Amino acid sequence: MTSRNGITEEYHTDSSSDFTEYWIDLFLGIKGHEYFCDIDEDYIRDKFNLTGLNQEVSKLSVLIDILTDIIDIESQPEDQRDALEHNARVLYGLIHARYILTSRGLNKMFEKYRNGDFGYCPRVHCQLHPLLPIGLNDQPRLASVKLYCAKCEDLYNPKSGRHAIIDGAYFGTSFPAMFFQNFPQAIPVHDRKIYTPRVFGFKLHDYSQLSRWRELQRNKLEKSLVQKGIDIYNKPGGFVIDEKEEIKN
Amino acid sequence: MSSGGEEGDYVPWIQQFCDLFGHDYFVPVAQEFIEDDFNLTGLSSQVPYYREALYTILDYQVDTIEDVTNGTSNSDKQDLPTKSLLSHSAELLYGLIHARYIISKPGLTAMASKFERNDFGCCPRYYCDGMHLIPCGSTDVPGQETVRLYCPCCNDIYLPSSSRYLNIDGSFFGTTFPGLLIKMFPEIENQCRIRINKVNQNELGLKLFGFRINESSISGPRMKWLRMHPKSIEQRHEFENCELSIPSEDEMDDEDDEDEDDDKTMASED
């Protein structure tokens, strides 16, 4: 495993003499990896946090050493480097999905959420509400990452193709739910506006009927919540009540 | 401004306009449509230097202040637009004619083939499965809002994904266009129906370690209604009752009293 030939050793010492780059920093610097946050080394080294991951990637201990910069990937046999680098990225992603559910990870992701690193909701009525990454599966290689908007509670595809190829399992299915359990102050007030297509100012009948039915569903929900004694008007998790809007409808 | 170029590489103004960066949502308006005065009714009051702008679009020679700086008297000059004013007016006029053209038959057909080619992009919503979008405006008055994109599948409007469309006026497409397009080409609604039927509504909503969050929690699902479609028999019945107006609270209460047990089972299913 650690056998190295003279050329790589020379190359290795040459490149590291000027400055040392951490693997995680390099990983985070790759274009398209803007959704990831950095994971503490302690978290990666704690074997308990990696339970079960040896089923997803081979040579787990070597990969951990690569992630934590104990061994340099250049010191590995040349024919294995690509596979190791690939597996190291997969491992980082899978650890990332677990790390962002811890309180430290959540705080780091909150910072990124506030900066809009995950983009903003393209829906007009959401008024550029920041998004959160979410996976559709917790197993890797099934579906790419999607973005969750808390205002319309819907899923969107990432705008850029670079983000659209990232595995959703690196964020996991639980992340947004955990996020809002931890930061209830980040829960938005939902908007009640519905768009209905109009022709020469007149609403199209079948669409308008659907809008009315949806409004009925919302009224039922509001009623049941109020009956449970939950204040939902202009409160986080509730609905925006605008008097002007009421009159228009 | 356009007729001054050499005859060899002469490009009509309309073509030039449609080829500009970020103008790929526009279709070229047919010359005959612009030449018919009836189609332009009322536009003269909305566009400054209307006649000059119209001539520019139709590639007639138009004098601007810059063209006549030497030789002519001052009184002539005062009525003339500057080049930048004129090009702005021409763009505004073209946009307003465009909004009218795309709801005429040839315009609708031209836009439908652009829609088919996915020139306006796909719906960003995951469950719409790449449904093609339709450009629209939220108002018919120019200078108010930029162009929006309507998805017939989720029945909602979105911002264009690229910033190059952020300076395009929504009124150049108008509020009527998307509704007319989906009614003229029923194939679009069929495409939507297939997509809607594929989605299992009960699967929506956030989960924490596989468990759904209760509706009473403030982080619970509160927006399901926005994307719901009537699926069950009760829901279809309700939907029919919404034909003309939303059934009032009293009617709903009556129904609640009649079959309270049914209601409870429904609530737990949700």
pLDDT for the residue B246: 86
Q: What's the farthest any 2 CA atoms get from each other in chain A?
A: 80
For B238, name the nearest residue in chain A, comparing CA atoms only: A213
A230–B216 CB contact, under 8 Å: yes
| Cα A205 to Cα B76: distance, rounded to the nearest angstrom | 54
User: Within a domain: residue B239?
Assistant: no
Give the one of B138, B209, B218 whose C-beta lies nearest to A236's C-beta: B218
Question: Containing domain of residue B13, as a range?
Answer: 7-101
Residue A68 and residue A41 in contact, taking contact as beta carbons nearer than 8 Å: yes
Q: Which of B199, B226, B268 to mutate to test the interface with A (most CBs of A within 10 A)?
A: B226
pLDDT of residue B270: 41
- A209, B206: Cβ pair inside 8 Å? no
Q: Cα separation of B122 and B161, whole Å?
A: 9
When CB atoms are compared, the residue of B150, B210, B239 closest to A209 is B239
Looking at the fold, whether B12 and B97 belong to one and the same domain comes out as yes
Q: Give residues 172 to 231 of B whose Cβ lies within 8 Å of A.
A: 175-176, 178-180, 182-183, 204-210, 213, 215-230
Of B101, B136, B163, the residue that ends a domain is B101
Within a domain: B236: no
Are B66 and B139 contained in the same domain? no
Contact with chain A for residue B238, Cβ under 8 A:
yes
Q: Considering B152, B178, B198, which residue would you say is the last residue of a domain?
A: B198
pLDDT at B62: 80
Cβ B53 vs Cβ B29: under 8 Å: no
Judge whether A67 and A26 are in contact, CB under 8 Å.
no
What single letter denotes the amino acid at residue B10? Y
Q: Is the domain of B82 the same as that of B35? A: yes
What's the CATH number where B36 sits? 1.10.1820.10
pTM, rounded to two decimals: 0.85
Please answer yes or no on whether A122 and B161 come within 8 Å at the CB atom.
yes
Q: Could you tell me whether strands A202-203 and A198-199 are parallel, antiparallel, or unpaired per DSSP bridges?
A: antiparallel
Query: Are residues B84 and B37 both part of a single domain?
Result: yes
Residue A153 backbone class (left: φ over 0; alpha: ψ -120 to 50; beta: rest): left
DSSP conformational letter for A166:
S
8 A C-beta contact, residue A150 and residue A181: no
Same domain, B180 and B122: yes
Give a yes or no: residue B67 inside a domain: yes
Cross-chain Cβ contact B224/A156 below 8 Å: no
pLDDT tens per residue, range A190-246: 999 999 999 999 999 999 999 999 999 999 999 999 999 888 888 888 898 876 555
Minimal Cα–Cα distance from A98 to chain B, Å? 11
| Among chain A residues, CA nearest to B212 | A177
φ, ψ of residue A189 to 5 degrees: the values are: -85, 125
Provide ipTM, 2 decimals: 0.84
pLDDT at A116 over 60: yes
Structurally, how many domains does chain B consist of?
Answer: 2
Q: Is residue B178 part of a domain?
A: yes
Task: Judge: B215–A124 Cβ closer than 8 Å, yes or no.
Answer: no
Burial B104-125, CB ≥16 within 10 A → b, else e: eeebbebbbebbeeeebbbbbb
Give residues 41 to 60 of B whose Cβ lies within 8 Å of A.
none
B267: left (phi over 0), alpha (psi -120 to 50) or beta: alpha
Contact B206 A176 (CB under 8 A): yes
CB < 8 Å to A151, chain B: 223
Backbone angles phi, psi at A179, to 5 degrees: -55, -50
Question: What average pLDDT score do residues A6-34 get?
Answer: 67
Asked if residues A35 and A117 have their Cβ atoms less than 8 Å apart, the reply is yes
Q: What does the block give as tokens for B162? A: 């690229």
Q: Could you read off the pLDDT of A28-85 as tens digits, one per residue? A: 999 999 999 999 999 999 999 999 998 888 889 999 999 999 888 888 888 888 999 9
- Residue B95: name the closest of B188, B171, B5, B196 by CA: B171
Question: Is B160 among the domain residues?
Answer: yes
Is B229 a member of any domain? no
Q: Across chain A, where does the E strand assignment appear?
A: 131-134, 146-149, 154-156, 198-199, 202-203
Residues B94 and B129 reside in one and the same domain: no
* pLDDT tens per residue across all 270 residues of chain B: 444 444 567 889 999 999 999 999 999 999 999 999 999 999 999 999 999 999 999 998 887 777 666 555 555 566 777 888 899 999 999 999 999 999 999 999 999 999 999 999 999 999 999 999 999 999 999 999 999 999 999 999 999 999 899 999 999 999 999 999 999 999 999 999 999 998 877 777 889 998 999 888 888 899 999 999 998 899 999 999 998 888 876 555 544 444 444 444 444 444
- Tokens encoding A180: 């809002």
Domain-located, residue B26: yes
Q: Are residues B140 and B77 in the same domain?
A: no
* Residue A3 burial (C-beta neighbours within 10 Å; 0-12, 13-18, 19+): exposed
The answer to whether the beta carbons of residues A157 and A167 sit under 8 Å apart is no
Last residue of a domain, one of B176, B198, B220: B198
Which of A102, A154, A203 to probe by mutation at the B interface, max B CB count within 10 Å? A154
Q: Is position B242 within any domain?
A: no
List all residues 6 or more positions away from B102 whose beta carbon is below 8 Å from its beta carbon.
Answer: B27, B108, B110, B111, B173, B174, B177
